[in-house]
Structure 1
Amino acid sequence: MTSTLPSAALVEELQGRIREVDPLVNAVCTPNPAARTEAARLDAERDDGRVRGPLHGVPVLVKDNIDTADLPTTAGSLALADQPPPPQDAAVVRRLRAAGCVILGKTNLSEWANFRGSASSSGWSAYGGLTRNPYALNRSPGGSSSGSGAAVAAGLAEYAIGTETNGSIVCPAALNGVVGLKPTVGLVPQQGIVPISHSQDTAGPMTRTVKQAAALLSVLADNQTDYTEYCLGTDLSNVRIGVPRGPLWGYSKGLDEVTERALELLSRCGATLVDHLSLPTPGGDEDQLQVLSHELKVDLAAYLATRAPGGPRTLDDLIAFNKKHADQELQWFGQELFERAAATEGLDSPMYVAARLTALRAGRDGIDNLLRDNQLDALVCPSYSPAWAIDLVNGDHVLGSSSSHAALAGYPLISVPSGTVSGLPVGLTISGTARSEVTLIRLAHAFETARIAADGPFPTPEFTQWV
């Protein structure tokens, strides 16, 4: 816990900050009216000598596709907005509460985690409206964990939870100048999270610092590891880091310059950089889309079956709802991804089985072969392009990303703020093989420490337009 205030006072302070700042950013879609009461109860526990752990009394914001039994869970869709709250908390929320965290509220997201239509704009949902980037209010916050990233950047909370299928934690982390950690798929339980794909989905921390992300992962993960123990110094003299070039670079000159500076800092920490490597283009975009489409139909139906009677139960139900409410739901982009998924034929389909194997090999073979052949501990590359202008008519203008290989493989990565390009935050992505979170956290913390020592604290947002 970074504040010396009692939890109830900290919650009051953050609630005031949300009232003051969030009308500009629109990151929090559902505040928790019971947050102060919960915080006061936790303060009383502390006063009685009962401290549940390092995050006792810490306020946390949760993405609005994660079930909370006391607050709505909508995935940004009006189809779920009038439904009662889910019957129980998601597994990750139960773990947060057990650790003494206060659920401060729910954050807006790209509707259905950016998997309804291909021309979507990150940060927009029919339920929550449009989330904006605190560093440039006319620029994208990224997605789909848009509100979680923007909220942490705006100082509405220091801890938030996002989810990722392909880039949905690391993208908004990079664009908003915060830390985003996407764990290995399966390390964090997915029960009670609105799904896209059981092969690629995971929840993960979004925080101000690497150590905060490590503390949150220690609560969320299945393995009872204290990841903060691996936030050590800056000595990386026994570490070999690979630097894939190729398509992960070259889409922003300013970003490349910031990333070269990041490589210099890692080298100063003693790391051996193995540069100019080639990570094969994952390809298989059609295979990945086949996998996501098939799994969405099955996984989402299973999730919807847990919600209150009378609500949507299938993709066909959601498609029909959106058509009926097209003036609100379909005003900016369509639902062709939903329609494609609804037409799939189940997880026994030969098309699905073949696509899943191809996608898995594309991700795992590319990463693991590169690590093994070069005796590497991790890989580094630019995270995402600087934030693009919001364009609700045409959708996102993403110039490049670092997440696809890890998404296909189900492998972890972490994005750490590396600098700014024309005042817009950018990040450095550190990635590795399955269950390599200990290594990634160690490297990320060392880089973060070295960057702050060299350049000072990361600049705070000014909530202005960017021209």
Structure 2
Amino acid sequence: MTRTTALLLALVTTSSLAAPASAQPHQDTQTYVDRIEALDDAGPMIGAVIVHDSDAAAKSQALLGTPLQGRAVLVKDNIETREWPTTAGSLALKDNMTGRDAPLITRLRAAGGVVLGKTNLSEWANIRDNDSSSGWSAVGGLTRNPHATDRNACGSSSGSGAAVAAGFAWAAIGTETNGSITCPASVNGIVGFKPTVGLVSRTHVVPISSTQDTAGPMARTVEDAAMLLTAIAGSDPLDPATAEADARKVDFAAGLGTASLAGVRIGVMRKQIGNRADLTAVFEQALADMERAGAVLVDIEFEPNNQMYSDSFTVLMFELREDMGKYLASLPQPAGRDTLPRTLADLIAFNQANDGAEMRWFGQDLFELAETTTDREAYEKARADALRIAGPETLDTLLAEHNVTLLVAPTRGPTWTTDLVNGDNFNGSMGFGSPPAIAGYPHLTVPMGAVERLPVGISFIGAKWADHDVLKAGAAYEKARTAELPAPSFKPWSAGD
């Protein structure tokens, strides 16, 4: 270990990751660059960042006076930025240098944010195979959880979650189709917000599903997440889903400092707490904190209609083939020759031809299934049913019948040991993230404590377009929280610690 690595390890593990109040953003940015080079590229090699800009500090300094003051943001590598290729973690797109910014990145820069680099992800946002290991891609390798480097960083936005937890940026941008912002945020001990689908543009973002995809902020505090959301939200004429975004957009950080839970009626999803006594104890402490802050808790016993899960899966498979094909066909031709894949079938063929690099650990059964999911009538029915069941018949009904503003549940249990041979080890008994993902409603996760020093989060779920209300509730809980939050250890988990 070098002296620089040892120094930074000591700094990160013994103090808050938040920048000093007196620090200027460009000074913070240099610290982030130093941490990436000492802890991601070397030392414990977290593997969260694929590429970064070593000169970002100077760019931050030049943006003082803008809304974001030159704050450094890492971007998931399925979102196009003009500086670097956008790979979605796949060698098939290693030359995908479009030279363009996604509209959400254009907005970020206009607000004074600095693109510090691109983060690793579960390859193709974890839609290639059922037996994948989250956080692995052929381009970026394996992302490690900074709280326990032998454990998983979860979701497809694993690099964004791990990077923020490790102190590699002020904030990061992730994407979610179903759990890919909220799960990595929860298990890495940070804030993650999946906004209402249609609040943030998806143009020039490698897609899975035009029905469920969205980008969203990942940060250390709810206020920071809200600031980033304000910067990137807005309508985009190339993305019809965002037609209402400008009308719905507000300063999402406004009022967070004085936000209160007093009198707020919150539905507690009792059957979604799960089967772990240790997680339940942490969740009950979070509920007690909210009650002390004046919240009115309403217990809800609810069993979801499982049809929405199968219908949503049909939607994902159909839209993966169609939306991926449209995205690939839109890519600029590199260096005057057509070397990029143009269809999902091309990606399948590429993986077969490069199976040693791409398919050593898991295959592509979901890609292959999506390629054969072509029944448009069945898709349209499944889409209508999934949206109806998840939205009006589940979330809207729960909020109305129990006269509550929000629903809460644990986001996810503690993270599991990464196993590239056998794949992920999700415990699906806890959490209520699928309904808002399928319906496209807002879902915020906020750290609520730890199980055996492994972070766990609490979910706040609200009605469609109630993004600001959800963020205010999360900020109010953040102030009321009494649980001690763990600091990243940057070493493997051990029962003896």
Normalising by structure 2, we get a TM-score of 0.88
Instruction: State the match for 1:72 in structure 2.
Output: 85
Aligned counterparts of 2:442 and 2:318: Cα–Cα separation in 1 = 23
Q: For residues 63-212 of structure 1, what are the structure 2 equivalents within 5 Å? A: 63-83=76-96, 85-212=97-224
Q: Residue 367 of structure 2 aligns to which amino acid in structure 1? A: F
1:321 CA drift (Å): 0.4
Aligned counterparts of 2:144 and 2:258: Cα–Cα separation in 1 = 35
1:362 CA drift (Å): 2.1
Does residue 353 of structure 1 match 2:380?
yes
* 3-state SS, counterpart of residue 362 of structure 2: coil
| Length, aligned pairs only | 452
Instruction: State the match for 1:13 in structure 2.
Output: 31
1:284 CA drift (Å): 3.3
Equivalent in 41, 45, 57 of residue 62 of structure 2: 41
Equivalent in 409, 419, 426 of residue 449 of structure 2: 419
Does residue 52 of structure 1 match 2:78?
no
| Contact 2:189 2:456 (8 Å CA) reproduced | yes
Does residue 316 of structure 1 match 2:345?
yes
Instruction: State the match for 1:339 in structure 2.
Output: 368
1:230 CA drift (Å): 3.0
% identical aligned pairs: 48
Aligned counterparts of 1:341 and 1:37: Cα–Cα separation in 2 = 45
Structure 1 residues 414 and 170: alpha-carbon distance in aligned structure 2, compared to 1, 3 A threshold: same
Instruction: State the match for 1:381 in structure 2.
Output: 409
| Contact 1:282 1:362 (8 Å CA) reproduced | no
Does residue 235 of structure 1 match 2:247?
no
Q: For residues 437-452 of structure 1, what are the structure 2 equivalents within 5 Å? A: 437-451=467-481
Structure 1 residues 145 and 226: alpha-carbon distance in aligned structure 2, compared to 1, 3 A threshold: same
Structure 1 residues 109 and 407: alpha-carbon distance in aligned structure 2, compared to 1, 3 A threshold: same
Structure 1 residues 282 and 411: alpha-carbon distance in aligned structure 2, compared to 1, 3 A threshold: farther
Q: Residue 37 of structure 2 aligns to which amino acid in structure 1? A: R
Instruction: State the match for 2:6 in structure 1.
Output: none
Aligned counterparts of 1:435 and 1:141: Cα–Cα separation in 2 = 29
| Contact 1:282 1:404 (8 Å CA) reproduced | no
Q: Residue 231 of structure 1 aligns to which amino acid in structure 2? A: L
Aligned counterparts of 2:71 and 2:341: Cα–Cα separation in 1 = 35
Equivalent in 405, 409, 422 of residue 394 of structure 1: 422
Q: Residue 413 of structure 1 aligns to which amino acid in structure 2? A: H
1:9 CA drift (Å): 3.0
Instruction: State the match for 1:463 in structure 2.
Output: 490
1:157 CA drift (Å): 1.1
Aligned counterparts of 1:316 and 1:251: Cα–Cα separation in 2 = 41
| Contact 2:200 2:233 (8 Å CA) reproduced | yes
Higher deviation after alignment, 196-205 or 287-296: 287-296
Q: Residue 398 of structure 1 aligns to which amino acid in structure 2? A: F
* 3-state SS, counterpart of residue 229 of structure 1: coil
Q: Residue 366 of structure 1 aligns to which amino acid in structure 2? A: T
1:274 CA drift (Å): 0.5
Structure 1 residues 376 and 11: alpha-carbon distance in aligned structure 2, compared to 1, 3 A threshold: same
| Contact 1:267 1:273 (8 Å CA) reproduced | yes
| Contact 1:58 1:101 (8 Å CA) reproduced | yes
1:232 CA drift (Å): 3.7
Aligned counterparts of 2:329 and 2:412: Cα–Cα separation in 1 = 36
| Contact 1:195 1:300 (8 Å CA) reproduced | yes
- Which runs of no fewer than 5 residues in structure 2 stay unpaired? 1-17, 235-245
* 3-state SS, counterpart of residue 250 of structure 2: coil
1:134 CA drift (Å): 0.6
Instruction: State the match for 1:305 in structure 2.
Output: 329
* 3-state SS, counterpart of residue 389 of structure 1: coil
* 3-state SS, counterpart of residue 227 of structure 1: coil
Normalising by structure 1, we get a TM-score of 0.94
Aligned counterparts of 2:486 and 2:297: Cα–Cα separation in 1 = 28
Q: Residue 332 of structure 1 aligns to which amino acid in structure 2? A: W
1:35 CA drift (Å): 2.2
Does residue 244 of structure 1 match 2:269?
yes
| Contact 2:261 2:477 (8 Å CA) reproduced | no
| Contact 2:442 2:465 (8 Å CA) reproduced | yes
Q: Residue 66 of structure 2 aligns to which amino acid in structure 1? A: R
1:10 CA drift (Å): 2.5
| Contact 1:242 1:275 (8 Å CA) reproduced | yes
Q: CA RMSD in A?
A: 1.6
1:33 CA drift (Å): 4.3
Q: Residue 423 of structure 1 aligns to which amino acid in structure 2? A: R
1:305 CA drift (Å): 1.9
- Which runs of no fewer than 5 residues in structure 1 stay unpaired? none
Aligned counterparts of 1:266 and 1:7: Cα–Cα separation in 2 = 33
Listed one character per residue, the Cα deviations across residues 88-143 of structure 1 (whole Å, up to 9, x for unaligned) are 10011111100111111000000000000000111000110000111111110011
1:37 CA drift (Å): 4.2
Aligned counterparts of 2:432 and 2:414: Cα–Cα separation in 1 = 13
Aligned counterparts of 1:271 and 1:250: Cα–Cα separation in 2 = 23
